[in-house]
């Protein structure tokens, strides 16, 4: 079964063709990051307009690379939530018009379910149940993946997402947008005990997380140093910050695995590319005797292949949408 997948939830327009869930025939991405870098973050209105400009050509390119005609596509999968509402609407309406014109099914896909599915592409043998730490620019969740389309949230950030925190800290360190990857690179050369930074705990909710206090602590440190004219050890600060994020995520993921009895742990989303997090999870899972599944780096960030993969499993579970499909800025992953 050939699924054409469309993704437009943030600042990447993406189109892919995926066969039978796990075989990626094409995976095309048009990033707008350079455009938003001028403003230090994503400007929603610009994102929507750029999606409109890119989506038709990118879809043609995905079909061309897959060597398929439109008539050989069996269904269209599209991200319908969560994301920037105007941006998601572009993909949803484009997918609706395609399925209407071709007379084929439309399959709505939850963006974070897509991130989880990136692991099925990297690890062809991976099957649920497993536990997944989902860490992206907009979401930080610990999810029990009971089956391909049955999930429960065990823990979540109460405020900023981990990726958002990376981006805000990177901005104040002058690393540009999106700042997660450059901050990660800088951190690799620094001493992670250079600056004492807080690790928050949400009283009574051991698997929940909070990153806003950590972000504020770094911002205050930088502003105080500026006011006093002191020079900061930037690699040391980047390393101390990365360690604080990892120290928040890793023990909770392991605790969730203990709680559920899951023996397999996966990671998903843009922050899954973080080298400190990958190293700490590798060590922690090895010590606990758990199998760890990390998505390959190019599938950590937003892409449409992951939407096509999850779309296949949603299709098998009977999920379909009509022309009344709406887009949602937020939506519980358990609802799909
Ligand atoms: O999954 P993603 O592409 O978009 C969303 O669905 O939100 O995640 C983007 C986020 C950004 O915040 C970016 O800074 C962060 O992932 N990111 C990283 C790294 N690479 C990307 N954060 C930390 N370390 C990295 N190596």
Reading the chain (336 residues) residue by residue, the pLDDT tens digits are 999 999 999 999 999 999 999 999 999 999 999 999 999 899 999 999 999 999 999 999 999 999 999 999 999 999 999 999 999 999 999 999 999 999 999 999 999 999 999 999 999 999 999 999 999 999 999 999 999 999 999 999 999 999 999 999 999 999 999 999 999 999 999 999 999 999 999 999 999 999 999 999 999 999 999 999 999 999 999 999 999 999 999 999 999 999 999 999 999 999 999 999 999 999 999 999 999 999 999 999 999 999 999 999 999 999 999 999 999 999 999 999
Helix, strand and coil content of the chain, in percent to the nearest 5, comes to 50, 20, 30
* pLDDT of the residue at 256: 98
Indicate which residue's Cα is closest to atom 3 of ligand 1: 301
Phi and psi at residue 328, in whole multiples of 5°? Answer: -130, 135
CA atoms lying within 13 Å on the CB side of residue 122: 19
Query: From the CB of residue 279, how many other CB atoms can be counted at a distance below 10 Å?
Result: 13
Contacts of 285 (CB under 8 A, 6+ apart): 254, 265, 291, 292
φ, ψ dihedrals at 61, nearest 5°: -65, -40
In eight-state DSSP terms, residue 11 is S
Query: In whole angstroms, how far apart are CA 190 and each of 236, 271, 300, 319?
Result: 4, 19, 24, 48
Residue 79 Rama label (left phi>0; alpha psi -120 to 50; beta): beta
- pLDDT at position 116 is 98
- From CA 228, how far away is CA 8, in angstroms rounded? 44
What is the pLDDT, as a whole number, of residue 260? 98
Q: Which of 332, 334, 308 is nearest to 91 (CA)?
A: 308
How many Å apart are CA 313 and CA 106, to the nearest integer?
Answer: 13
- pLDDT value, residue 23: 98
Q: What is the per-residue pLDDT for 242?
A: 98
Whether 134 is in the pocket of ligand 1, judged by its Cβ within 6 Å, is no
Residue 203, pLDDT score: 95
Residue among 137, 177, 267 to mutate when testing ligand 1 (max atoms within 8 A of CB):
137
Q: CA quadruple 300, 40, 90, 25: dihedral positive or negative?
A: negative
Q: How far apart are CA 222 and CA 231, in angstroms?
A: 9
Q: Nearest 5°: CA angle at 331, between 113 and 77?
A: 45
Phi/psi region, residue 128 (left: phi>0; alpha: psi -120 to 50; beta: rest), is: beta
**Of 178, 279, 298, best ligand 1 pocket probe by most atoms within 8 Å of the beta carbon:** 178
CB 302 less than 6 A from any atom of ligand 1: yes
Query: How many degrees, rounded to 5, is the angle at CA 159 between CA 166 and CA 178?
Result: 25
Closest ligand 1 atom to residue 300 Cα is: 1
β-bridge mates for residue 150, sequence order = 147
Which residues lie below 8 Å from residue 283, measured CB to CB, with a gap of 6+?
none
Helix or strand (DSSP H, E) at 76: strand 75-81
Instruction: Return the sign of the alpha-carbon dihedral for residues 112, 117, 250, 142.
Output: positive
Secondary structure element (H or E) that encloses residue 192, with its range: none
Give dist(CA 160, CA 69) in Å, integer. Answer: 42
* CA 227 to ligand 1 center in whole angstroms: 30
Beta bridge partners of 88: none
Pocket test for ligand 1, best of 29, 33, 157, 270 (most atoms within 8 A of CB): 270
């Amino acid at each position: 079964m050939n699924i054409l997948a469309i993704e437009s939830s943030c600042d990447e327009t993406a189109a892919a063709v995926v066969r039978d869930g796990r075989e990626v025939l094409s995976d095309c991405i048009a990033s707008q990051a350079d455009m938003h870098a001028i403003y230090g973050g994503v400007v929603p209105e610009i994102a929507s307009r750029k999606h409109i400009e890119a989506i038709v050509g990118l879809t043609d390119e995905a079909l061309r690379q897959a060597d398929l005609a439109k008539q050989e596509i069996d269904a269209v999968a599209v991200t319908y939530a969560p994301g920037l509402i105007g941006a998601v609407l572009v993909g949803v309406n484009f997918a609706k018009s395609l399925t209407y014109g071709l007379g084929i099914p439309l399959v709505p896909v939850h963006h974070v379910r897509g991130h989880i599915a990136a692991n099925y592409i990297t690890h062809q043998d991976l099957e649920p149940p497993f536990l997944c730490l989902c860490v992206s620019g907009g979401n930080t969740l610990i999810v029990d993946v009971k089956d391909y389309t049955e999930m429960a949230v065990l823990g979540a950030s109460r405020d900023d997402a981990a990726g958002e925190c990376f981006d805000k800290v990177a901005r104040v360190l002058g690393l540009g947008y999106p700042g997660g990857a450059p901050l990660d690179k800088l951190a690799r050369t620094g001493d992670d005990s250079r600056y004492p930074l807080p690790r928050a705990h949400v009283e009574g909710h051991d698997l929940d997380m909070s990153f806003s206090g950590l972000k504020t602590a770094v911002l205050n440190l930088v502003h105080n140093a500026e006011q006093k004219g002191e020079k900061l050890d930037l690699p040391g600060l980047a390393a101390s910050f990365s360690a604080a994020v990892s120290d928040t995520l890793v023990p909770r993921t392991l605790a969730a695995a203990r709680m559920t009895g899951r023996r397999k742990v996966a990671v998903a989303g843009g922050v899954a590319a973080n080298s400190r997090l990958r190293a700490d999870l590798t060590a922690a899972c090895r010590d606990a005797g758990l199998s760890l599944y990390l998505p390959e780096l190019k599938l950590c960030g937003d892409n449409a292949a992951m939407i096509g993969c999850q779309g296949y499993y949603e299709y098998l579970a009977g999920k379909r949408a009509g022309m009344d499909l709406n887009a949602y800025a937020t939506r519980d992953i358990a609802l799909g």
